[in-house]
């Protein structure tokens, strides 16, 4: 017994959809090799943005952000990447944190932007992470290390021999 024309059309449509679906899903994701833009990067400007800062005993929010930024700059300098203010390459480490009891959850987004003086800035690379820790462990050193590890992990793939 052969399939009816309606069943044949349904099967043909399902087959076509199954062939096209993986391509459309893949097109929505940065390619795996987008870290290649980090090749030969040895100067950039940087900024740490703490979008939601909790009450950290004995910590001033501005000093916390500036301390994290200074430590991130030092971590990059140790690997040969110097900070040059107003560079067209701009590294941004954005952090959001929330506390629940004795636990703290935080999300980091590390992005490399190419700034244009007369056009739209371009996002070249991005890495994100989420972590939970004991609330008392959230310090500028941890934040800087997290941002540095995310950036340098990919940077080293394209720059170190």
Q: Are residues 147 and 102 in the same domain?
A: yes
Q: Are residues 24 and 64 in the same domain?
A: no
pLDDT above 50: residue 149: yes
The CATH number of whichever domain residue 88 belongs to comes to: 3.30.160
Q: Are residues 59 and 116 in the same domain?
A: yes
Q: Are residues 9 and 57 in the same domain?
A: no
Q: Are residues 61 and 119 in the same domain?
A: yes
- pLDDT one-digit tens code per residue, 129-146: 999 999 888 899 999 999
In this prediction, residue 26 has a pLDDT band, given cuts at 50, 70 and 90, of: very low
Q: Are residues 78 and 18 in the same domain?
A: no
Task: For residue 19, give its domain range.
Answer: 1-30
Q: Are residues 65 and 16 in the same domain?
A: no
In this prediction, residue 28 has a pLDDT band, given cuts at 50, 70 and 90, of: very low
Mean pLDDT over each residue of the chain, to the nearest integer: 81
Q: Are residues 21 and 79 in the same domain?
A: no
Q: Are residues 97 and 70 in the same domain?
A: yes
How much of the chain exceeds pLDDT 70, in percent?
Answer: 75
- Does 108 or 18 have the greater pLDDT score? 108
Q: Are residues 91 and 127 in the same domain?
A: yes
Q: Are residues 65 and 19 in the same domain?
A: no
pLDDT of residue 24: 37
For the chain, what is the domain count? 2
For residues 11-22, give the mean pLDDT: 46
3-class SS string, the chain: CCCCHHHHHHHHHHHHHHHHHHHHHHCCCCCHHHHHHHCCCCEEEEEEEEEECCCCCCCCHHHHHHHHHHHHHHHHHHCCCEECCCCCEEEEEEEEEEEECCEEEEEEEEEEEECCCCCCCEEEEEEEEEEEEEHHHCCHHHHHHHHHHHHHHHHHHHHCC
Q: Are residues 49 and 127 in the same domain?
A: yes
């Amino acid at each position: 017994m052969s399939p009816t024309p309606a069943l044949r059309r349904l099967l043909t449509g399902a087959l076509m959809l199954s062939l096209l679906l993986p391509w459309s899903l893949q097109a929505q994701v940065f390619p795996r090799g987008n870290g290649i833009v980090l090749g030969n990067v040895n100067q950039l400007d940087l900024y740490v943005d703490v979008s939601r800062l909790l009450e950290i005993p004995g910590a001033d929010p501005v000093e916390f952000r500036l301390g994290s930024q200074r430590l991130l700059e030092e971590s990059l300098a140790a690997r040969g990447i110097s900070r040059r203010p107003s560079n067209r390459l701009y590294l941004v480490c954005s952090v959001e944190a929330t506390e629940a009891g004795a636990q703290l959850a935080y999300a980091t987004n590390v992005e490399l932007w190419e700034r244009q003086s007369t056009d739209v800035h371009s996002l070249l690379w991005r890495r994100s992470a989420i972590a939970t820790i004991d609330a008392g462990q959230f310090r500028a050193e941890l934040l800087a290390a997290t941002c540095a590890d995310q950036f340098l992990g990919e940077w080293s793939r394209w720059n170190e021999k």
